[in-house]
Amino acid sequence: MRSVIVNQVIGDGRFNRFFKYILTISMLTTITEGFNINVFGLIIPSLKTDWHLTDPQVGMLGGFGLAGMIFGSLLLGPLSDKIGKAKGLMVATAVFSVFTVAVGFATGYYSFLTFRFIAGIGLAGAFPIAVAYVSEYSPRNIRGRLTVWVTSGMGLGTVVAVLISLWLLSPYGWRMMFYVAAIPMLLLIFQYFLPESMTALIKQGQKDKIARILSKANPDFIPAGDDEYQYDAFHAGEVSLASLFKSGLGKNTIIFWAMMFFNYIYIYAVTTWITQMMKMQGYSLALSLTFSLLYNAGFILGIPVCGGLQDKLGGKKVLSFGLIIMAILTLIDSRLGAYPVPLGIFLFLTGAAQHGVTGVAGSHIAQSYPLTFRGLGTGWGYGIGRFGGVCGPILGGFLLGISLSASATFMVFACIPLISAMIIFFSTDYTKEAQNR
């Protein structure tokens, strides 16, 4: 009888069709999520006009809508460790697709808020599951890059949302933006054919399925009938919240939670209010949406640069320097409101820093936890961060509600990444070690 360490077999594999399918479907999932999450920020001017809302009311609407994402991250992440990450991904996608479409049928403020809250449960669940899933199914030498690339779907989804808004928002109104969200339901068909996570298959004793999956991941692996499949010592463990604080993981867990909290304040403050802030500086709706597009298109630069650097330098170094650069760029943005071309360039660079840092943060967290409870660790990291996501739109609404200028608001936002940089400085980087497992 042979003992097969499944994570080593997968890690030794080459980037073949098996891994490409997993990466593609996972990225499409995060792309649809990016569309659904960020569409709210794009419709704020139209929604304010239609329903005569104040800035604080919009901030509360955005913040409470994101509150559902807290529950999604905290509940669906650990659930995926129990039932399997592929099944968890399908559940999350179904929830956010159905209820995002329902937002388009909202008859008033509170029905909008309710549907958005429920959609948020699925939205927040899908993202950390996809990150944890790809970190499990990827060759070790490019694991950081692939995991970061999955997070790029958030930025690409926002770019898609902006392009669609330029086409549909003015002639058809804000409701059409939510009706379009019905299209991603087709993604469920392709998710159905994803291989289940090894954690679930080992628990279920599905040896035949494990053998077939390992053979696809690593064609050099030849299964035998009496093989016993398991993880190495690091990746063994029980799925429980207490596990996040055992075996030396506690310090990083607290640091990750704090970092993600402040990161999400920044992300959702900027993405929710950037269109409105551009309008406050005298730009048309179309040009304001274009600025939002440029900011989110920054993932094109930020994701490959930061992902590659993470594989070489480790997550901690890339996060520390990336967050400081993001703060500096945001400060520069605050001084360029009257100069559209330089403003567009620096918003693109700021978006590159934000998307790159966000991708590395997710990858850094995922690779720091054992596979048996990686969904739990990643989900709770994003879940605690979502509290910051709730605060971000409210913070922006408050600042603008007290008549703070767009320039001054950007300056306040620039302080937030500096706090995250100071926090992550005290973490221990397991990223390079994880790549060798």
Average pLDDT over residues 170-191: 86
pLDDT band, residue 436 (cuts 50/70/90) = very low
Q: Which H helix or E strand runs over 3? A: strand 3-5
Q: In sequence order, what are the beta bridge partners of 230?
A: 5
Kindly list the distances between the CA atom of residue 63 and the CA atoms of 60, 189, 274, in Å, as whole numbers in the listed order.
5, 32, 15
| Rounded CA separation 436/273 (Å) | 42
Q: What is residue 435's predicted lDDT score, i.e. its pLDDT? A: 46
**In 3D, which of 83, 299, 28 has the Cα closest to residue 204?**
83
Kindly list the distances between the CA atom of residue 207 and the CA atoms of 77, 132, 224, 285, in Å, as whole numbers in the listed order.
25, 22, 10, 57
Tokens in use for 285? 């709706």
Q: What is residue 310's predicted lDDT score, i.e. its pLDDT? A: 82
Q: What is residue 143's predicted lDDT score, i.e. its pLDDT? A: 80
The structural domain count of the chain equals 1
- The answer to whether 381 and 261 are in contact (CB under 8 A) is no
- The answer to whether 176 and 53 are in contact (CB under 8 A) is no
DSSP state letter for 352: H
Q: Which H helix or E strand runs over 323? A: helix 315-334
HEC profile for 137-206?
A: CCCHHHHHHHHHHHHHHHHHHHHHHHHHHHHHHHHHCCHHHHHHHHHHHHHHHHHCCCCCCHHHHHHHCC
Kindly list the distances between the CA atom of residue 416 and the CA atoms of 240, 266, 307, 328, in Å, as whole numbers in the listed order.
31, 6, 22, 11
Tokens in use for 393? 């739109």
Cα-Cα-Cα-Cα dihedral of 249, 3, 85, 251, to 10°?
A: 0
Range of the domain at 373: 3-435
pLDDT band, residue 334 (cuts 50/70/90) = confident
Q: What is residue 391's predicted lDDT score, i.e. its pLDDT? A: 84
Average pLDDT over residues 415-431: 87
Amino acid at 98: V
**pLDDT tens by residue, 215-267:** 998 988 888 777 777 765 455 556 667 778 877 788 999 999 999 999 999 98
Q: How many CB atoms lie within 10 A of CB 276?
A: 21
Q: What is residue 342's predicted lDDT score, i.e. its pLDDT? A: 92
Number of separate helices (H) and strands (E) present in the chain: 18, 2
Q: How many CB atoms lie within 10 A of CB 280?
A: 17
Amino acid at 324: I
Amino acid at 332: I
Phi, psi (deg, nearest 5) at residue 171: -75, -30
Phi, psi (deg, nearest 5) at residue 228: -115, 125
3-state DSSP assignment of residue 283: coil
Average pLDDT over residues 291-299: 85
Question: What is the end-to-end Cα distance of the chain in Å, rounded?
Answer: 23
- The answer to whether 375 and 86 are in contact (CB under 8 A) is no
Average pLDDT over residues 391-402: 82
Calculate what percentage of the chain has a pLDDT beyond 90.
Answer: 19
Calculate what percentage of the chain has a pLDDT beyond 70.
Answer: 93
- Residues near 8 by Cβ (< 8 Å), separated by ≥ 6? 232, 437
Q: What is residue 386's predicted lDDT score, i.e. its pLDDT? A: 78
| Rounded CA separation 300/286 (Å) | 22
Average pLDDT over residues 100-114: 87
Average pLDDT over residues 282-311: 84
**pLDDT tens by residue, 164-180:** 887 887 788 888 888 88
pLDDT band, residue 25 (cuts 50/70/90) = very high
Q: What is the CATH number of the domain that holds 42?
A: 1.20.1250.20
| Rounded CA separation 277/328 (Å) | 19
Is the per-residue pLDDT at 369 higher than 90?
no
- The answer to whether 220 and 12 are in contact (CB under 8 A) is yes
CA atoms within 13 A on the CB side of 351: 25
| Rounded CA separation 219/203 (Å) | 24
Radius of gyration of the chain (CA): 21
- The answer to whether 43 and 169 are in contact (CB under 8 A) is yes
Average pLDDT over residues 112-121: 86
Tokens in use for 227? 């093989």
- The answer to whether 332 and 341 are in contact (CB under 8 A) is no
Ramachandran class of 246: left when φ > 0, alpha when ψ lies in -120 to 50, beta otherwise: beta
**In 3D, which of 310, 273, 282, 295 has the Cα closest to residue 397?**
273
DSSP state letter for 4: E
**In 3D, which of 137, 147, 149, 139 has the Cα closest to residue 195?**
137
Q: What is residue 352's predicted lDDT score, i.e. its pLDDT? A: 92
